[in-house]
């Protein structure tokens, strides 16, 4: 077996040395593009997933979100929950919120929204709401008759032409808000928030006390408690600690919530990704098969002579396995160079959507290793099939090329 390997390696070396260098460069170039296609699209999808999940963390859910258990509408005694959460090791900040349905009316234009009641001072450490005010100012502790409007419903942000909007509302404008319980209030628009994300730009913010008063809530209720942790990546551990602290409500990490909300979109992208990978692998294997098949046909007489002088069929098959591995390895190496060059370029120059959404591809080492192993395996198998077929022919038949 060792002799077969040595002889096969020598035959493969001689084939490469005598081969056409321009043809070799072309083969490597095509294989590098095939490998690039295997890993580039998943990296871009990973970047898009990271962007969307980042929005989930920055706005509605924080690192961890606590929601009412069972069929309850509210978390009862939310202040008690907050006290327990803030005492947990690894928690940096936490706040409570009230989300309700409402409609906003301005100059006979009506838009349905979710209105979030929050405590403005606490949001600075928990979310990015205070930092995405494109016009006007964020809410203050005394902002009881003021409201923050999302850019899409204000008619000023990207996507305004797609959704119903209030028609160029500006800070200082007066809007009427009719809550789901029928209570109607007039607010002055204090600011326009633009997060370039629908869950943000199609909503509105008011003071927590305003929602509490409108709905007549007592006993410190909340529809969610949003938590920010000290160290990214420790969400699961902090989640367990919060449960151990005696919080009996539903506790989710941002990953749990993100997976639920964007699962369908990611499944569609995943299907495209799988199809792209499948096609790339088939094309790569077919390319190696065709190259080796032509090589075998052109060298059929030589293979017959090799068998006549005592070279075993195993050595001949191994020589083409080494040859296939050489082609594919060079293609993978060139593909990696091209891949990392593009990754560094897009890290510095991200793909921009809607003027502000920046998508940076994510490099996944596990994906790279899987792609390398899969491409090598399939290509080597495809490359040895023609050689194995010819090696089984009789010596005379191979020499005569029949």
Verify that 112 and 223 share a domain, yes or no. yes
Verify that 241 and 278 share a domain, yes or no. no
d(Cα 222, Cα 77) in Å, to the nearest integer? 8
Which pair of tokens denotes residue 65? Answer: 């979100």
Residue 61 located in a structural domain: no
Domain of 186, in residue numbers: 69-248
Which of these three, 223, 248, 273, is where a domain ends? 248
Residue 39's pLDDT is 81
Query: pLDDT of 108-120, one tens digit each?
Result: 888 889 999 999 9
Select from 106, 268, 214, 86 the least CA-distant residue to 276: 268
Count the domains in the chain.
2
Verify that 21 and 99 share a domain, yes or no. no
Residue 255 located in a structural domain: no
List residues bridging with 175 in a β-sheet: 187
Query: pLDDT of 50-63, one tens digit each?
Result: 666 666 667 778 88
Q: Which residue has the tokens 């989640």?
A: 239
Residue 339 located in a structural domain: yes
Verify that 32 and 148 share a domain, yes or no. no
Does residue 187 register a pLDDT over 80?
A: yes
Q: Is the dihedral of CA 150, 155, 156, 159 positive or negative?
A: positive
Residue 64 located in a structural domain: no
Name the pLDDT band for 137 (thresholds 50, 70, 90). Answer: very high
d(Cα 63, Cα 82) in Å, to the nearest integer? 15
Helices (H) and strands (E) in the chain, counts: 13, 12
Q: How high does pLDDT run on average in the chain?
A: 80
Name the pLDDT band for 176 (thresholds 50, 70, 90). Answer: very high
Query: pLDDT of 313-357, one tens digit each?
Result: 667 677 777 777 888 888 889 989 998 888 888 888 877 665 556
Answer yes or no: pTM beyond 0.85. Answer: no
Verify that 343 and 295 share a domain, yes or no. yes
Does residue 28 register a pLDDT over 70?
A: yes
């Amino acid at each position: 077996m060792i002799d077969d390997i040595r002889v096969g390696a020598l035959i493969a070396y001689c084939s490469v040395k005598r081969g056409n260098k321009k043809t070799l460069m072309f083969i490597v170039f095509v294989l590098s593009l095939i490998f690039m296609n295997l890993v580039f699209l998943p990296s871009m999808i990973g970047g898009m997933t990271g962007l969307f999940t980042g929005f989930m963390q920055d706005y509605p859910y924080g690192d961890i979100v606590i929601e009412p258990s069972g069929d309850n509408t509210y978390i009862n005694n939310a202040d008690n929950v907050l006290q327990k959460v803030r005492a947990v090791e690894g928690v940096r900040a936490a706040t409570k919120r009230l989300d309700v349905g409402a409609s906003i009316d301005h100059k006979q234009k009506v838009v349905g929204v979710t209105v979030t009641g929050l405590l403005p001072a606490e949001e600075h450490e928990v979310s990015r709401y205070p930092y995405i005010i494109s016009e006007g100012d964020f809410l203050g502790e005394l902002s009881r008759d003021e409201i923050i409007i999302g850019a899409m419903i204000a008619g000023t942000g990207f996507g305004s032409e797609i959704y119903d909007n209030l028609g160029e509302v500006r800070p200082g404008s007066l809007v009427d808000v009719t809550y789901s319980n029928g209570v109607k209030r007039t607010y002055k628009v204090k600011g326009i928030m633009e997060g370039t994300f629908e869950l943000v730009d199609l909503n509105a913010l008011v003071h927590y006390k305003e929602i509490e008063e409108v709905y007549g809530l007592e006993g410190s209720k909340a529809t969610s408690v949003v938590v920010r942790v000290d160290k990214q990546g420790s969400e699961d551990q902090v989640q367990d600690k919060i449960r151990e602290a005696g919080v009996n409500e539903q506790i989710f990490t941002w990953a749990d919530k993100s997976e639920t909300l964007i699962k369908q979109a990611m499944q569609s992208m995943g299907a495209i990704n799988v199809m792209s990978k499948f096609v790339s692998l088939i094309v790569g294997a077919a390319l190696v098969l065709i190259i080796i098949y032509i090589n075998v046909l052109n060298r059929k007489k030589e293979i017959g002579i090799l068998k006549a002088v005592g070279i075993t069929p195993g050595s001949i098959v191994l020589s083409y396995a080494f040859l296939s591995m050489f082609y594919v390895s060079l293609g993978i190496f060139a593909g990696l160079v091209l891949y990392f060059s593009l990754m560094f370029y897009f890290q510095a120059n991200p793909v921009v959507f809607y003027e502000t959404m920046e998508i940076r591809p994510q490099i996944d080492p596990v994906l790279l290793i899987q792609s390398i192993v899969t491409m090598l395996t399939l290509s080597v198998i495809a490359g040895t099939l023609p050689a194995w077929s010819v090696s089984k022919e009789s010596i005379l038949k191979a020499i005569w090329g029949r």
